[in-house]
A and B are shown apart, each in its own frame.
Chain A
Amino acid sequence: MTDGSTLALARSLLRRAGLRIPEPELQSLAEVLPELWRQADDVGAHLTGQHPDGPAAPGPGAVK
């Protein structure tokens, strides 16, 4: 079950993209959001050798 803030965030991002999605489908989509962000962050972390949960390395690094 997705928490309220993730659901609100998913709704907001989809609306920003122009999508009005029925609530049950919004719920399902919101459930994948954390995993998708984890994957995107994992790619970024690999670029600089940083773990996504670790401290930021000094100097130029990942772009987020």
Chain B
Amino acid sequence: MTTELPTTLMEAAAWLRAGRISSGELTELALRRTSDLQPALGAFVTVTADAARAAAARADADLDDGVDRGPLHGIPIAVKDVFATSDAPTFANSRAFVEPWPPGYDAPAVARLRTAGAVLIGKATAGEFGCGEPEPGRGFPLPRNPWNPEHTPAGSSSGSAIAVAAGMALGALGTDTGGSVRAPAAVTGLTGLCTTRGRIPTDGVVPLSWSMDALGVIGRSAADCAAMLQILSDHEPHRRMQAPILDGDLVDIRIGLVEEYFLDDPGLQAEVLAGIRAAIGVFGDLGAQFQEIRIEGAHQAKEANTVIVLAEGFTQHRANLALRWSDYGAAARSFLARGAFLSAADYAQAQQFRREFRMRLDRLFRNIDAVLLPCLPTDAGRIDQTDLEARFRGRNSTRQWNLAGVPAVSVPCGFGAQGLPIAFQLIGPSGSDERLLQLAMAYQTRTDWHLRRPPMLTSTGPS
């Protein structure tokens, strides 16, 4: 048995088929890593070790019988603790859940992973109901950044990112309403895709904002994300493994660059701007063309996202907040209660703006294939210096795309002022998820930021 966990999901898939490792061995390595690092990193609410071992045994038996279910066959995957799963309860990281969803039912997205032969390692830590912050003493693990446990892994799909960054899983499922997949991926050196809204069903997922929630995947590489997307999006798990890499010919690709609001953000760390400039250079070397563009109403789009998420989140929780205020964490209840301050007109205007903003982007994407932007303005801050109100008031580069329902992928591009990972973001028109991942793959053929591993992994045994 090898003691080395493959670096990427795609590498693991190749190893499995080459007989270099079995799913059982992969799963044991992932579970051992989880057991070693869970106390320090708080990646999982529930680890489903027995079910994982059983799934791995089935995956190995199938491969022995010549049954290949595609790229996730036998691969350890983590699932955010907002997805219903048949083998573990769903808490949404809250003590205010009237009753945690009991095991017994798989959300469609989870069912697709299982049908494709994935091995689910456990339920990954999340921000409470997708909007809260970790708090000690509430009975849930405190998620920490594997690159430096004193720093935040961002949220709300925190555990999903931690699990992949720390080698507890080779891919993860998350949800993204304003950046909840892209931000954790960005600060942990991973690739994170927020899919076109509605492309993957959100049934069986604890909602935050029914009109804004989208599913997402986190992997080390864009190719890993593409493998998960392939399984999640079309329910044809028996399709042949595909890794359509654009490896050096982007001559027909036009990328938009937006100075106003995004690249001229005074809060942008110099290292982030340098990482983006370097990425522009890489895409240029690959043949891409660039065009300066304006995105009118970018700041209002962020605000409209806030208004809609607060209104819908509050509507979802109103009765429960009235009954169980103190059972919610301080950050979640403060966030959700803000929805009570908004009028029907505020909500209607935000939805009206949303329609116009979406049409604006539709027009924009007639002339360009993607937009390249920062993901977060800085690398991960210290956990003890988290400032929620600054986030509420300040600029933002992720929420606009949830408002429009278009796909967005965060791609690692270096390290920030504190030595922690940073990322850029690619945005594309509705349904262009695969195209964005292809662009990210092309970038990753020329860079290795996505393959870097947290220093702590080198001191915890097999890596």
Interfacial residues of chain A within 1-28, with CB under 8 A of chain B in the complex: 10, 13-14, 16-21, 25, 28
| Interface contact B318-A17, CB-CB below 8 Å | yes
Partner of B303, one of A16, A21, A39, A64: A39
Contact (A46, B340) CB under 8 Å given A32-B392, A40-B303, A40-B346 = no
Interfacial residues of chain B within 327-354, with CB under 8 A of chain A in the complex: 330, 333-334, 337-338, 340-343, 345-346, 348-350, 352-353
| Interface contact A47-B303, CB-CB below 8 Å | no
Q: What is the CA–CA distance of A29 and B389 in the complex, to the nearest angstrom?
A: 11
| Interface contact A43-B338, CB-CB below 8 Å | no
Chain A residues near B352: list those with CB within 8 A. Answer: 47, 63
By beta carbon, the residue of chain A nearest B344 is A63
Q: What is the CA–CA distance of A47 and B300 in the complex, to the nearest angstrom?
A: 10
| Interface contact A44-B349, CB-CB below 8 Å | yes
Partner of A63, one of B307, B340, B345, B393: B345
| Interface contact B353-A43, CB-CB below 8 Å | yes
Chain B residues near A21: list those with CB within 8 A. Answer: 325, 337
Quick check: is A35 within 8 A (CB to CB) of the other chain? yes
By beta carbon, the residue of chain A nearest B336 is A19
Partner of B341, one of A20, A33, A44, A64: A33
Chain B residues near A28: list those with CB within 8 A. Answer: 334
Contact (A36, B341) CB under 8 Å given A46-B297, A46-B300, A63-B348 = yes
Contact (A17, B314) CB under 8 Å given A36-B341, A64-B345 = yes
Q: What is the CA–CA distance of A43 and B392 in the complex, to the nearest angstrom?
A: 15
By beta carbon, the residue of chain A nearest B357 is A46
- A-B Cβ contacts below 8 A, count: 86
Q: What is the CA–CA distance of A35 and B307 in the complex, to the nearest angstrom?
A: 12
Q: What is the CA–CA distance of A20 and B325 in the complex, to the nearest angstrom?
A: 9
Counting chain B residues whose Cβ lies within 8 A of the other chain, the interface size class is 20 to 34
Chain A residues near B330: list those with CB within 8 A. Answer: 25
Q: B305: shortest Cβ distance to chain A, in Å? A: 10
By beta carbon, the residue of chain B nearest A25 is B334
Contact (A47, B356) CB under 8 Å given A32-B389, A40-B307, A64-B349 = yes
Q: Mark B395-408, 1 if CB is under 8 A from A, else 0.
A: 00000000000000
Quick check: is B169 within 8 A (CB to CB) of the other chain? no
Chain B residues near A14: list those with CB within 8 A. Answer: 337, 340
Partner of A42, one of B300, B318, B321, B348: B300
Chain A residues near B389: list those with CB within 8 A. Answer: 32
Quick check: is B165 within 8 A (CB to CB) of the other chain? no
Contact (A64, B343) CB under 8 Å given A43-B307, A47-B353 = yes
Q: A17: shortest Cβ distance to chain B, in Å? A: 4
Chain A residues near B393: list those with CB within 8 A. Answer: 35
Quick check: is B304 within 8 A (CB to CB) of the other chain? yes
The interface centre, meaning the residue of A16, A40, A43 with most chain B CB atoms within 10 A of its CB, is A43
| Interface contact B341-A10, CB-CB below 8 Å | yes
Quick check: is B157 within 8 A (CB to CB) of the other chain? no
By beta carbon, the residue of chain A nearest B323 is A18
Q: A32: shortest Cβ distance to chain B, in Å? A: 6
Chain A residues near B303: list those with CB within 8 A. Answer: 39-40, 42-43
Quick check: is B322 within 8 A (CB to CB) of the other chain? yes
Chain B residues near A37: list those with CB within 8 A. Answer: 341, 346
| Interface contact A40-B340, CB-CB below 8 Å | no
| Interface contact B307-A39, CB-CB below 8 Å | yes
Contact (A19, B325) CB under 8 Å given A25-B334, A37-B341, A43-B304 = yes
Contact (A35, B392) CB under 8 Å given A17-B318, A18-B319 = yes
Quick check: is B177 within 8 A (CB to CB) of the other chain? no
| B residues at A contact (CB < 8 Å) | 297, 299-300, 303-304, 306-307, 310, 314, 318-319, 321-322, 325, 330, 333-334, 337-338, 340-343, 345-346, 348-350, 352-353, 356, 389, 392-393
Given known contacts A17-B337, A19-B337, A43-B349, what 5 new A-B pairs fall within 8 Å (CB)?
Answer: A14-B337, A25-B330, A40-B303, A42-B299, A47-B353
Which 3 pairs of residues, A with B, have the shortest CB-CB distance? A17-B340, A18-B322, A40-B346
